[in-house]
Amino acid sequence: MTVELDKVGSAIILAGGKSSRMGRPKAMLPFGGEPLIARVVRGLAPLFPELVVVAAPGQDLPELSATVVRDHVAYRGPVGGIRYGLGECGSTAAFVTSCDVPFLSLPLVSHLAARLPGHDVVVPRWEGRLQPLHAVYRRSVLPLLERQLERDELRPVFLYDKVRTLRLEEDEVRALDPDGSSFFNMNTPEDYHRALARWQEASESAAEGGLCEVELFGVARLRARTSRVSVHLPESATMAHVWSALARKLPALVGPVLNEAADGLTPGHVCNLNGRDFVRDGDRRVAPGDRVLLMSSDAGG
């Protein structure tokens, strides 16, 4: 196993919980035409070359572009899942999340990874609570997690006072994920139906009238003084059409973020399309309802 110094090159998705309140396995819930676990794996693929799914022994999963690890002992809580996942990672550290978070923010995930140097854990706080299943962990904490399992301490927070933990406060989190969508998880059928309704509403709103939703981060957000904007697209639209529409709506972006011709990005900026691909090619096709993230390339591109 080759371990790269200070490299958060892996993501761990925990999928082996009992799903007792949901009444059926959360990982296999249909969401946007695919199992929920497949959506989460696909969403994280643009950021991490290595994806590890931690599942229970015998748990059914769809075919995934990820390494699947089975718990040695089933249902050992988040600490067990993090321990088994970190044991399989080929990088110094990994971003850890669960299989029931359909609205992850890639810029926020990238920011957490970027804050790792000098720390063993980077964990955000949202609505007054730490979010241990939306955090970055070094592999060096493995021995401590193993001792927690021996003591039956199954909550990750028991680790934090024993290692160098950076707790990101809400104002820093909100700068990248204003409404905390990343922390919307699903434990009950009611949560699931709310998530489906939210996803459907967003999809229909974006598709209505040929609209494309653009989310802005970093310099783009500071210049535009807004976090998101909808732009109208013609038929057979491309990324160049998106940039041109942005220039008309937000002229402050021309120069710092968009080039003077408004048909491309300045160096140091990149777009992500639908949480899948990072793109700078103006000929890349864009459809109504697509979601574009515009950010600094050192934040994840």
The CATH number of 208-299, from 3.20.20.70, 1.25.40.10, 3.40.50.300, 3.10.20.30, is 3.10.20.30
Per-residue pLDDT tens over the stretch 102-125: 999 888 998 999 999 999 999 999
Q: What is the pLDDT of residue 39?
A: 92
pTM of the model: 0.71
DSSP string, 55-77: E-TT------SSEEEE-SSS--H
Q: What is the pLDDT of residue 33?
A: 85
Burial degree of 167 (CB within 10 A; 0-12, 13-18, 19+)? middle
* In the chain, domain spans: 8-193, 208-299
Q: What is the pLDDT of residue 206?
A: 56
Q: What is the pLDDT of residue 23?
A: 87
Topology, domain 8-193? Spore Coat Polysaccharide Biosynthesis Protein SpsA; Chain A (3.90.550)
Per-residue pLDDT tens over the stretch 32-90: 889 999 999 998 988 899 999 999 888 999 999 999 998 777 667 899 999 999 999 98
